[in-house]
Amino acid sequence: MKVQAKVFLSRDLVLALDAAAGRMKRSKSEIIQAALASYLSPDGDEASEAALTRRLDRMSRGIERLERDLTISNEAIALFVKAWLTATPSLGAGDQKAQNAKGQERYAGFLDALSRRLASGRLLRTEFQEEREEGG
């Protein structure tokens, strides 16, 4: 048995309720009834806490993946720099100025390439994985 109840809501809340009803294709009464049942439910706090815990667990796993990826990236760069420094011969005094100019030119080219790659949204590791799967 349903009983009519008259309540007063703020204009913003009524507009949000109208939008939600249209979006969900449900009546405003259904939405309000479900919200009140959830709010007045004795286990509502427990359900909210469980949902929050699940969300925090998901975020923690995401952060752990980011930390792992960052560690891998840092190690890869360090390994490359070590190999480059080991393999690059030292320059004579006469070559230093020309090599500095060439180094600045290459660095500017590197920054341009990095900017284009980041703007495109494609990652080199994704391309590498795709090539590996195709050849694989």
- In tens, the pLDDT along 64-103 reads 999 988 988 888 888 787 877 777 776 666 677 777 787 7
CB 27 within 8 A of CB 21: yes
Question: CA 18, 20, 23: angle at the middle one, nearest 5?
Answer: 110
CA distance 133 to 136: 5
Does this model's pTM top 0.75? My answer is no
pLDDT tens digits, 11-62: 999 999 999 999 999 999 999 998 888 777 777 677 778 888 999 999 999 9
Q: Given this model, what pLDDT does residue 115 score?
A: 82
CA distance 56 to 50: 10
CB 24 within 8 A of CB 31: yes
**Contacts with 41 (C-beta within 8 Å, 6 or more apart), sequence order:** 47
> If you average pLDDT over every residue of the chain, what do you get?
83
pLDDT tens digits, 96-136: 777 778 778 888 887 788 788 778 877 777 777 777 788 75
- Burial, 32: exposed, middle or buried (Cβ in 10 Å; 0-12, 13-18, 19+)? middle
CA distance 120 to 56: 31
pLDDT tens digits, 30-43: 999 988 887 777 77
